[in-house]
Structure 1
Amino acid sequence: MAMLLWALVAVCVLWVTLSCLPAGWDGRVPVLPYLIALQPFLWIPMAVVCVAALCLGEMPAATGALVAAVLAVARRPLTNHTQRVSARESLERAEHATAQLTVMTLNCRYGRADARAIVRAVRERGITVLALEELDDALVAALEREGLRELLPHRCLGEGKESDNGGFNGIWTKDEPVATAADVASIPAADVPAAVLRAGGATVLLAAAHTKSPMRGPCDWSDGIRGLARLIVHTTPAAAADAAFDAVVVMGDLNADIDHPSFRTLLKAGFRDAGLAAASRRQPTFPRWLPWPRIVLDHVLFTDRLAVTRTAAFVVEGTDHLALTATLAV
């Protein structure tokens, strides 16, 4: 029995180390992205092993399981935490801001999200930029009928393709954009539509992204995530070579979190995750129908010119993700 307990502890420790793989390696084997996504909950089986070992009088195994459980909880490398802006820093920077953007992102699950609920959320929450993923033509038409154009009159849609991950992406804005582009990131996934806005004296590129899920190809999943880092080094959107911008915001279902090495590529490139930088707690967004356990798949990423003051997640009927909002100070 002791051998079995130690074997379970060893499996847990090895599982935790998967998040330390080099970026891109997590996309080499189809099961790896899923195993890494479940790491936040590894403390549960280790707690069970610890209790079982105590009941059997196997103190060394119980100690090993306890250490493994602690490792699972504190699994994120310290280098990740150096990438985030603290809540205090964000609030201090927000005090000097002259404008703000209230953004919202939602995976619409093959176009099945409730259009009326989306428009109601935009109205009641004062959304100024809306990013939607997994759209279809029927949902876009339903949003128009429900009055989305009256609230956010400007839009840019990606082109629907057979290779899309459940549908195309779209972005709506309250203010008229300086420029728009149907695809600003050539990644193996749905088009990444974007709008360039002027806010607080800055020119901000805002993009809606939906990287492929691992089941549609782990290599494309990893390449798509890491490919978004190229948006930071761009100085112009594809649609307007003369419209430089000062900050970048990427919103959407990225099918990954900070535990995934591929996702951490974005943080190392200079993106900040609103969920890490906001004073409020992180916002797990999937699956909608389970209050716990949920994982973080949807993100609002931004570059240094901006600061986040708050985030929130809430239910929109018809989809399997929660909607995610963030208030960004410019």
Structure 2
Amino acid sequence: MTDVPRSRPGGGFVTFLLVTTGLAVTLAALVRLFGIDGTRYMLATTALTPYVLVLGVLTGLVALLVKRWAVALVTLLLSAVLTAAVAPRAFPDSRPVGVGRPLKVMSMNLLVGKADAEALVEQVRRHDVDVLALQELTPAMVADLDRAKLAQALPYRVFRDEPGGSGSGIASRYPVTARDLTPPSTLRQAGALVDLPGRDVEIVSVHPLPPVVPEGPEQWQRDLAGLPARTLTGPIRVLAGDFNATLDHASLRRLLNTGYVDAADQVGDGLAPTWPADSPWWPPGVTIDHVLVDNRCPVDTFEVVDVPGSDHRAIVSRFVVPAP
């Protein structure tokens, strides 16, 4: 009597699906783990790293269930490594002791001036915002903000409004002086020195060109590389805005390594999606809006806020500017 080879559960079709999915997870994971900011398609895939992690775990578990051992081993191993990179964003870091003045910063991409100005100003008041960074600020939006009485809450401003999506601005409770803190870029990135009582703070309304434009990601890389590093000898520095990058992109991690911390990551909200605000299913939500603060500033809170009319959610963070 001869033994009849047993076919594995699911047959060849299941094997094909698992191998194909496992290969996709492997390639996406390796791009993220090796820090390759390559083509626009690779950058778009890197933005989806948390979803790749979930897909990898599911693929590995199914592969275990149907005894595709090689697929299970590779996908679960890569998922474990990705988990070490992604999971800490969901847990708060220990807050260092800091003595100084609290500062609350809000950032909002206005979708070429289509955001609801009255709703935005209401959120500014509700959250008692000190500094507001705006992207895609148009002349018409400035008029809408004036009608909504933004100046009553934040009377000082550095606005670089332009038609289309290239304008930006900063509004503040405290006096501001315009500063050129970035090289020339396709999208304007307003900079200002905020005369905070006790210690000045520099802030940039960040908005690099998206990396997925047909021309490719080169300008996005230059824009991110041109953002000012944190310096120990100058003012406390804050970068707030639409970075068109997640914490999985190597270009943003390099910027963080110059001496910044991501406010959302510090308080355990680093996976809260900020774009798109108006699409519940596709494309998947990603975290591309950030408040980066000097790592000498203890972060207290971070919140994602919905403002009608925009495809981005606003973000609000409270942190402490240490005394000099």
TM-score in same-fold range (> 0.5): yes
Shift in Å, 1:51: 4.9
Write out aligned runs for 1:133-144 (5 A): 133-144=135-146
Counterpart CA distance in 1 for 2:16 and 2:308 is 48
State the AA in 2 paired with 1:232: R
Which residue of structure 2 aligns with residue 205 of structure 1?
Answer: 202
State the AA in 2 paired with 1:284: P
Of 269, 272, 275 in structure 1, the residue corresponding to residue 264 of structure 2 is: 275
Q: Does 1:263 align with 2:269?
A: no
Aligned residue pairs total 303
Counterpart CA distance in 1 for 2:134 and 2:252 is 20
Counterpart CA distance in 1 for 2:128 and 2:17 is 55
Q: Does 1:171 align with 2:184?
A: no
Write out aligned runs for 1:239-258 (5 A): 245-258=234-247
Q: Any idea what the Cα deviations from partners look like across 1:233-267, whole Å, max 9, x if unmatched? A: 597xxxxxxxxx42101110000011101111111
Q: Secondary structure at the match of 2:95?
A: helix
Q: What is the aligned-residue identity percentage? A: 28
Q: Secondary structure at the match of 1:269?
A: coil
Shift in Å, 1:58: 2.6
Counterpart CA distance in 2 for 1:108 and 1:159 is 11
Q: Does 1:45 align with 2:55?
A: yes
Counterpart CA distance in 1 for 2:64 and 2:33 is 30
Q: Secondary structure at the match of 1:170?
A: strand
Q: CA RMSD in A?
A: 2.7
Q: Does 1:104 align with 2:106?
A: yes
Write out aligned runs for 1:10-89 (5 A): 10-21=23-34, 26=37, 28-54=38-64, 56-75=66-85, 87-89=93-95
Shift in Å, 1:184: 2.2
Shift in Å, 1:308: 1.3
Which residue of structure 2 aligns with residue 195 of structure 1?
Answer: 192
Q: Secondary structure at the match of 1:42?
A: helix
**Unmatched runs of 5 consecutive residues or more in structure 2:** 1-11
Query: TM-score, length-normalised on structure 1?
Result: 0.82
State the AA in 2 paired with 1:286: W
Counterpart CA distance in 2 for 1:281 and 1:302 is 14
Query: TM-score, length-normalised on structure 2?
Result: 0.84
Shift in Å, 1:54: 4.3
State the AA in 1 paired with 2:274: T
Which residue of structure 1 aligns with residue 288 of structure 2?
Answer: 297
Equivalent pair of 2:60/2:71 in contact (CA under 8 Å): yes
